[in-house]
């Protein structure tokens, strides 16, 4: 498979991840997530569908992690492996967190406790995804076949996600950081999907 084809496939998977992640969040009604721990708004059929779609988005992100590893491996094998490990562990923890999401509507008396465990697990996952963003950002910046500003933005986004893990971080600080993270990933997705790569990874790293 050529580098441009691989880049385009990676961009498509990235887009599918975004669509399913957004759909999953909407279907669960915003009940779950890093900043949520309330079981009062659970509507079970729609909620369970949302959890299932969210799991699909996690699987797509795992595929994305593997595709980015393959695309960026020629840049620096060590950093690429670190990105692969951090991204895969983040996906694994997110998948485990979904178990608490599924359990939440089973017992209304324990719903808040299960959602709190879900939130804590997602905080752990976010720490790994932050590291993943930093490593991917370094690889993109050094690649010479993807826009360097996107690499720099990914590194900033990864550092920002780490900051958001602070328990007392006020919303006026957390919101811009989340926006930077979103913009960085969307920029990478659009670059891969619309433009592919400017030259082959082997030529760029030579």
Nearest alpha carbon to residue 46 among 56, 54, 38, 35: 54
Asked if the model's pLDDT at residue 49 lies above 90, the reply is: no
Query: What pLDDT does 173 receive?
Result: 64
Query: What pLDDT does 206 receive?
Result: 44
Distance CA 174, CA 178 (A): 6
Residues 6 or more apart in contact with residue 86 via CB below 8 angstroms: 128, 129, 131, 132, 135
Once rounded to an integer, what is the mean pLDDT over residues 155-176? 75
131, two tokens: 């590291």
Distance CA 127, CA 45 (A): 31
Distance CA 41, CA 104 (A): 11
Per the CB < 8 A criterion, the answer to whether 93 and 34 are in contact is no
Residue 141: other Cβ atoms inside 10 A: 19
Query: What pLDDT does 106 receive?
Result: 64
Once rounded to an integer, what is the mean pLDDT over residues 93-111? 78
**Per-residue pLDDT reduced to its tens digit, 63-101:** 999 999 999 999 999 999 999 999 999 999 999 988 887
Q: Give domain limits for the chain.
A: 3-200
Query: What pLDDT does 24 receive?
Result: 87
Taking CA atoms, 117 is separated from 3, 61, 124, 199, in Å, by 41, 22, 11, 45
Per-residue burial over 87-118, b = 16 or more CB atoms within 10 Å of its CB, e = otherwise:
bbbbbebbbebbebbebbbeeeeebeebbbbb
The average confidence (pLDDT) of the chain is 83
Q: What confidence tier does 105 reach under pLDDT thresholds 50, 70, 90?
A: low
> pTM value?
0.83
Query: What pLDDT does 103 receive?
Result: 73
Asked if the model's pLDDT at residue 182 lies above 90, the reply is: no
Once rounded to an integer, what is the mean pLDDT over residues 118-126? 88
Asked if the model's pLDDT at residue 132 lies above 50, the reply is: yes
Per the CB < 8 A criterion, the answer to whether 112 and 36 are in contact is no
Distance CA 27, CA 29 (A): 5
Distance CA 16, CA 27 (A): 16
Query: What pLDDT does 51 receive?
Result: 84
Taking CA atoms, 109 is separated from 28, 106, 114, in Å, by 19, 9, 10
Asked if the model's pLDDT at residue 33 lies above 50, the reply is: no
Asked if the model's pLDDT at residue 60 lies above 90, the reply is: yes
The DSSP element (H or E) to which 141 belongs, if any, is: helix 111-143
Query: What pLDDT does 1 receive?
Result: 67
């Amino acid at each position: 498979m050529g580098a441009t084809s691989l880049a385009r496939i990676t961009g498509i998977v990235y887009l599918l991840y975004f669509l399913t992640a957004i759909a999953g969040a909407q279907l669960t009604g915003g009940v779950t997530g890093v900043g949520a721990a309330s079981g009062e708004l659970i509507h079970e059929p729609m909620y369970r569908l949302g959890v299932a779609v969210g799991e699909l988005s996690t699987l797509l992100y795992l595929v994305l992690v593997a595709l980015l590893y393959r695309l960026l491996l020629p840049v620096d094998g060590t950093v690429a492996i670190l990105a692969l490990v951090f991204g895969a562990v983040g996906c694994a923890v997110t998948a485990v967190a979904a178990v608490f999401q599924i359990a939440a509507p089973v017992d209304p008396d324990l719903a808040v406790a299960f959602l709190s465990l879900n939130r804590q697990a997602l905080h752990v996952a976010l720490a790994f995804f932050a590291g993943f963003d930093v490593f991917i950002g370094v690889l993109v910046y050094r690649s010479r076949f993807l826009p360097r500003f996107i690499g720099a933005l990914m590194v900033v986004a990864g550092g920002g996600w780490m900051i958001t893990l602070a328990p007392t971080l006020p919303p006026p600080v957390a919101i811009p950081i989340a926006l930077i993270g979103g913009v960085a990933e969307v920029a990478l997705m659009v670059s891969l999907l619309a433009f592919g790569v400017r030259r082959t990874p082997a030529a760029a790293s030579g």
